[in-house]
Amino acid sequence: KFGVPELGASDRAALMKKLDGVALASDAFFPFPDNIDVAAKFGVKFIAQAGGSVQDPQVLACAKGHGMMMAMTGVRLFHH
């Protein structure tokens, strides 16, 4: 697709292990720390999120435990 070969399963796994310094952004909040645990497995080190969850202190503590920086933007673009 667009001249770029698809990665095989072993190539994809090797690439995923090398990820580091990844930034993750959300226009909503992360409701539970398990989202942060999963992000850590994929090299995420920087998170920007809206904040506003009752779980914000736990989510922030989880991020700090993984050595991540987290910014609460206070901005939600997704409204429902």
pLDDT in tens, 14-62: 988 899 999 999 988 999 999 999 999 999 999 999 999 999 999 999 9
Distance CA 15, CA 38 (A): 16
d(CA 67, CA 18): 17
Distance CA 63, CA 19 (A): 17
Helix, strand, coil share of the chain (percent; to 5):
35, 20, 50
| Closest-CA residue to 34 (of 77, 76, 4, 66) | 66
| pTM higher than 0.75 | yes
- Position 77 scores a pLDDT of 78
